[in-house]
Each structure stands twice: as structure tokens, then as C-alpha cells.
Amino acid sequence: MRAIPRMVGAVMRGQYAGMGKSKLALLGLGVVYILSPIDVVPDFLVLIGVADDFGVFLWLAAALLGESGRYVQHERSIIQGRTEGLEQA
């Protein structure tokens, strides 16, 4: 989870091609949907209204964990490439 801010910054600067700005925007919309009082299915329909928020939360959590894991691997490969370059010099 600590890699998420670094990943967002790298995507915005164009330094991480593993995720496009459109997917980042979609994840941002997911956060806004969860925090927003406006829902597709109103919360007064208790079970159904809460279920849509929970579904978006599950999707968002899975997407962020998966993407941040791939980003950490990307960071490690960059660091490993730098240390291999230093060893060869």
C-alpha cells in the first residue's frame, strides 16, 4: 500500500508504462464513488444500496493491490538494473 503514492506519481510523470492515465483516472473515480453520498443504487435500499458500494470497494482494493504489486516489481527491476550496471563498470 505504501507504493501507491509512488506509483501514482510515476504514472503522472510518464515514468511507469505499466498503467495508463486512463486506468488511474478510473481508480480515482472508484475512490470518489465510495466517498460520495450520491450512489447508483440509493443506500435507503439497505442491502442493495450497501452492496454496490462494497462491490466498488472490493474492485478498487483488488485493482490497487495488483497494480501496486506490479509497480514494486518494476521498481525492483530498475534498481537491479542499476546495480548490475555498477558491477560491470
Contact yes or no for 11/19 (Cβ under 8 A): yes
C-alpha 1/C-alpha 8 separation (Å) is 12
Cell numbers placing 88: 560491470
Q: Is residue 56 scored above 60 in pLDDT?
A: yes
Amino acid residing at 60 = L
Number of domains the chain contains? 1
**Average pLDDT in the 46-68 region?**
88
Residue 9 lies in domain? 3-88
Rounded Cα gap, residues 56 and 60, in angstroms: 6
pLDDT top residue among 76 and 52: 76
